[in-house]
Structure 1
Amino acid sequence: MSKKNLALTLSPALIALLAACGQKPDGAGGHGGPGGPPPVSVAPATQREVQEFDEFTARLEAPDTVEVRSRVAGTVDAVRFKEGQLVKKGEPLFTIDARAFKADVARVEAQIAAARTQAELAKADLARSEKLISINAVSQQEIDQLRSALRSAEANQKAAEAALVQSKLNVEYASVTAPVSGRTSRANVTPGNLVGVGDPVLTTVVSSDKVYAYFDASEATYLKYMRAARDGSRPSSRDVANPVQMGLSNEQGYPHAGKMDFVDNRLNPATASIRGRAVFDNKQGLFTPGLFARIKLIGSGSYNAVVVPDRAISTDQTRKIVLIVGPNNIVQPRPVTPGALIDGMRVVDGVKPGEMVIVDGLLRAFPGAPVTPQVLKVDDKGMPIPAAPAGAQGAAPAPAPAPASAASK
């Protein structure tokens, strides 16, 4: 058989074999038909209402944390609170033996009485002498001495009255009370122990009606918010009305609402960050100082923006681009300006709503080359819904090898 006849004999079989191979589904092999444009997954750019925000890790602290110390020295008579209980401002916490202070009050009161008597006598002597000076019965020197004695007696009386105030304060300080309303720590001393002025720490009281959340924001974030405040698109970063949301480590999302309370007056040059503080209501006692929390700081007000999946954005040298499937399924690179990332969707400027953006198969798409687009459905946020598994797509074309078998017969 000649080479020409052999080629004619084998060509129908080869053609049938190539046809059977061409029926392999795109999803199973990851390619289009033989020599055809490569398949890519596309989704329409979506326009929706968005609101920018930033997330931080925060540490909870109490607005008031007071170390309770004694202001007088003495022996502890009693502990008047239960450890860990809630107390109100002014409630007694410790009682110190006040008998010595009460005795001192009595002693100073006696000194006041003596000083008052001495002042009255000096005043009477001066009055009698002033009546005799007109007849030259006393000298001017004696008058000056009497006036000096009166002023000295009055000064001694005032000094004794001031000492009485201090003695009465010591009696009051013998009853150590809660400086703020809040929750107590454990009692560090027990009855019978001798305490000094300011040492040791008797207990600690932290306020519980509110809680502070301290967090650090980067320099770039701070500048962004300051620029937005100058533009008028959001309140000032120092405005206490700025809304803040918070979630604990065991909570989903940010179920607790609060507001900004404080922004530091300088950036930390070592970390290039600035300290911020949000305040949250804690009347139900949900928050304990020292806990870690997640903070969501609301940015500008709501606005309409075009969003695309963040994975659809690639880098072309120094610019950010997305690949658009244009007329005749030709790939078109589109420079974009990326914005905030919200729920996996990136706000972009440079893409129109409805334009088909390549989200999967970016390595198979080349600018100016044709592709075979597979349009994906999107959810209510614009996020593409993954296509059905390749096995489900490839189940139907399973009988494809039949033509090849028939051709070989």
Structure 2
Amino acid sequence: MARHRTFLTGTVLSGIALFALGLLWQGPYGARSQAQVQPPAPPTVVVARPLAREIVEWREFAGRFEPSAAVEVRARVTGHLQSIDFKDGEIVEAGRQLFAIDPRPYRATLDEARAQLASAAAQVELADLELRRAEQLIGSNAVSQATLDQRRQQKKAADAARALAEAAVSRAEIELGFTEVKAPFTGRVSNRRLDIGALVSDGAMLTTVVALDPVYFVFDISEQDLLAYQQAALAGALPAMHGRQIPVEARAQADKDWPHKGMIDFVDNRLEAGAGTIRARATLSNAGGLITPGQFGRVRLPFSASYEAMLIPESALLTDQADRVLLTVDPDNTVRTARIELGPRQPDGLRIVRGGLKPDDRVVVSGLLRARAGQKVTAQSADPEPRAAALGAAALGN
């Protein structure tokens, strides 16, 4: 009986010990196992609806600023260079004297021509008197008809000699005027090519002058862009390409915005066969002289009328092989993939969406790497303003 009681007591104590060990095992390790089997929380993404804005589509082209006029100033007479009346590189007004060639030989030639003109004029007067006298005497048969004919021919010869002398005076005056070399228009002059005292020959280049206001911007338009513009013009949304009514905006490489305004004044009559482009030229105001001919720059011109477009941050775009896609979030917070048709880029890091997106779609603009199609997410709304949405996406990262 005592042995039986001892066996029961040991059995009870062993059960109690095993139960205590089980409680100890479930304490630190059992809770951890239960935590591991709990599903993870959905990732958090930032979403925003497309921005609706009234815009005009612009397309940009690279080109070069060129002077609206440029000439090589050359001598038109031969002689010694007497003076240089400008400083290299300065702005000169139209008609200002730049060089003077020794005028003395040409002034002497002019004086000689004038003297010959005076002599020819005297011969005309004499021939006229003799002709009138012969015409009076022919009635009384005091002179013969042959003498009258001779006087008439002498008068014609004297008139021709006077005309020749007048032409010689005009030529001498022109050549004397060529000794003063003047600026043909207002612009910036280059450096002198010859020094005072040098013998200048007819046709020798002395300097160059370029006009600074207005300036031209010359650029090439691709065949694809030309066809797109012509289609919009045929639809009545834009003025004709050759109508000289297309407004443009230009900027130099250092400009942040588009400070230079102008109009397209020339489009070539054919495409370049090798490049598949057509040459165009815009006239821009340069009253401040900030543009130097020869600079590279960019120009933009409208390719659409004003319309309301859907815009998204460009940082929200993804690539799926040849397609551009967005991640959108359904009302039940499920991520979907939307294939879209894109338009041109816009300021503030935005992009036009032409199709594949609805105005009330919620687009993932941040947390793109944490989201997958078909996955549940926690969606947080972003600031609807375009700049805030774009900056928010860049700050939070993908």
Distance across 1 between alignment mates of 2:319 and 2:255: 36
Task: Please say if 1:101 is aligned against 2:93.
Answer: no
Q: Which residue of 1 aligns with 2:73?
A: 68
Correspondence for 1:120: 125
Q: Does 1:386 align with 2:393?
A: yes
Question: d(CA) in 1 for partners of 2:100 and 2:37?
Answer: 94
Q: Residue 209 of structure 2 aligns to a residue in which SS?
A: strand
Which has the higher mean CA deviation after the structures are superposed, 163-172 or 253-262?
253-262
Aligned to 2:194: 189
Question: What residue identity is the alignment partner of 1:215?
Answer: F
1:240-296 per-residue CA deviation (whole Å, 9 max, x = no partner) reads 554333333223222333333333333222222222223332222222111222323
Letter in 1 for 2:161: N
Q: Deviations over 1:168-208 (max 9, x none)?
A: 11111111111111121111111110111111x11111223
- 1:356 corresponds to which residue? 362
Alignment CA distance shift 1:19-1:294 (3 Å): farther
- Cα distance in 1, alignment partners of residues 395 and 64 from structure 2: 44
Give 1:266's aligned residue. Answer: 270
TM-score (structure 1 length as normaliser): 0.78
How many angstroms apart in 2 are the aligned matches of 1:388 and 1:237? 43
Gaps of 5+ in 1: 1-8, 24-32, 391-409
The residue that corresponds to 2:343 in the other structure is 339
Q: Which moved more, 1:92-101 or 1:337-346?
A: 337-346
- Report the Cα offset of residue 237 of structure 1: 3.4
Cα separation, 2, equivalents of 1:95 and 1:301 = 56
Between 188-197 and 123-132, report the one with greater CA deviation: 123-132
Flag the 1:237–1:13 CA change in 2: closer, same or farther, 3 A.
farther
| Paired letter, 1:386 | A
Between the two proteins, the alignment pairs up a number of residues equal to 373
| C-alpha distance after superposition, 1:353-382 (max 9, x if no partner) | 12023456489644xx44435445245227
Match of 1:6 in 2: none
Report the alpha carbon displacement of residue 163 of structure 1 after superposing the two structures with TM. Answer: 0.9
The equivalences for 1:146-295 within 5 A come to: 146-199=151-204, 201-295=205-299
Q: Which runs of 5+ in 2 are unaligned?
A: 1-23
Question: Could you tell me whether the CA contact under 8 Å between 1:62 and 1:212 is conserved in 2?
Answer: yes
Contact 1:87 / 1:181 at 8 angstroms: preserved in 2?
Answer: yes
TM-score by length of 2: 0.80
**Which residue of 2 is the match for residue 55 of structure 1?**
60
Q: Deviations over 1:187-232 (max 9, x none)?
A: 1111110111111x11111223322222222222222222222222
Distance in 2 (alpha carbons) for counterparts of 1:183 and 1:388: 49
Query: Could you tell me how far apart the structure 2 residues matched to 1:137 and 1:15 are?
Result: 159
- SS across alignment from 1:386: helix
Deviations 1:305-361 (A, max 9, x none): 112344555677887654543354455555543322213333223422120234564
The 3 A distance-change label for structure 1 pair 196 and 21 is farther
- Higher radius of gyration, 1 or 2: 2
**Partner amino acid, structure 2, of 1:265:** N
1:29 aligns with none
In 2, Cα distance between equivalents of 1:146 and 1:120 = 12
Distance 2:319 2:87 in 1: 64
- Alpha-carbon separation, structure 2, partners of 1:207 and 1:387: 46
**Per-residue deviation at 1:87?**
1.4
